[in-house]
């Protein structure tokens, strides 16, 4: 059953239209990726789903209910969790305070995320629990942002460019953590331009170019489709 269904989503900034009839689906427990170069509309799609950017037209069905243009805080309380590309760590709050401020109750029947559980997933954060967020490394801030979102007990995690600006060894560590979240059954939408990262994690992929979906297929299909990779994904 589809957990999320986006149909013909279009977004404009002023007179500039940046998304053109984007459609995608996510099933429960599935990891779906939006992949493409910088500036093709991945982040705008994520922000549109979360309610942070107002779509011009289209439909967003979440757990069978239309949520187009619904306020972000209502979407968060209803199980959508957004990890922004720029992290938005509260720099003067400690790691623990960053986690505590995002705390929301878990849906009925769901194992709740709490400090103990996120510290098990990200042991570095436990070590630095009393350190201010602004004093963490880029990779640690990325882990904190994911952990903070998990404290809201989301049913669907929207991960926007989690490998951006991070050292390769840390990217590998974050890839492993996302894989662990997927193995727990968490549904995930991943917006990413790192193709190796995408192919290692995804069940299905949507390739974007100039605000349009130009390819849809399994990660295995995309892995072997050198034409699509060469045309839309390589610099």
Q: What is the pLDDT of residues 157-213, one digit of tens each?
A: 999 999 998 999 999 999 999 999 999 999 999 999 999 999 999 999 999 999 999
What pTM does this model have?
0.95
The single-letter DSSP state of residue 195 is H
The sheet with strand 31-35 has its strands ordered as 80-83, 156-160, 187-192, 31-35, 204-209, 212-218
Residue 235, pLDDT score: 61
Q: How does pLDDT run across 77-121, given as a tens digit for each residue?
A: 999 999 999 889 999 999 999 999 999 999 888 899 999 999 999
Q: Which fold has domain 2-88+157-233?
A: Rossmann fold (3.40.50)
Give pLDDT, residue 110. 86
pLDDT of residue 14: 85
| Rounded Cα distance, 205 and 219, in Å | 6
CB 6 within 8 A of CB 49: yes
pLDDT in tens, 27-60: 999 999 999 999 999 999 999 999 999 999 999 9
* Domain extent listing, the chain: 2-88+157-233
SS3 at position 24: strand
Question: Whole-angstrom Cα distance, residue 140 to residue 118?
Answer: 13
**Three-state DSSP string of 25-94:** EEECCCEEEEECCCCCCHHHHHHHHHCCCCCCEEEEEECCEECCCCCHHHHHHCCEEEECCCCCCCCCCE
How far, in whole angstroms, is CA 157 from its chain's centroid? 5
């Amino acid at each position: 059953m589809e957990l999320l269904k986006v149909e013909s989503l279009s977004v404009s900034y002023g007179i500039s239209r940046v998304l053109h009839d984007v459609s995608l689906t996510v099933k429960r427990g599935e990891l779906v990726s939006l992949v493409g170069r910088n500036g093709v509309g991945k982040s705008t799609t994520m922000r549109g789903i979360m309610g942070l950017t107002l779509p011009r037209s289209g439909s967003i069905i979440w757990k069978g209910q239309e949520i187009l243009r619904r306020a972000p805080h209502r979407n968060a309380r209803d199980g959508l969790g957004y990890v922004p590309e720029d992290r938005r760590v509260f720099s003067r709050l400690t790691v623990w305070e960053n986690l505590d401020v995002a705390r929301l109750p878990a849906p009925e029947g769901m194992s709740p995320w709490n400090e103990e559980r996120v510290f098990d997933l990200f042991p570095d954060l436990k070590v630095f629990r009393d350190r201010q967020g602004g004093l963490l490394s880029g990779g640690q801030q990325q882990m904190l942002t994911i952990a903070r979102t998990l404290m809201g007990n989301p049913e669907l995690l929207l991960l926007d460019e989690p490998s951006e600006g991070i050292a390769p060894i840390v990217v590998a560590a974050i890839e492993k953590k996302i894989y662990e979240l997927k193995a727990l059954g968490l549904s995930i939408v991943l917006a990413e331009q790192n193709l190796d990262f995408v192919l290692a994690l995804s069940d299905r992929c949507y390739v974007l170019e100039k605000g349009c979906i130009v390819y849809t297929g399994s990660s295995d299909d995309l892995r072997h489709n050198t034409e699509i990779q060469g045309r839309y994904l390589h610099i």
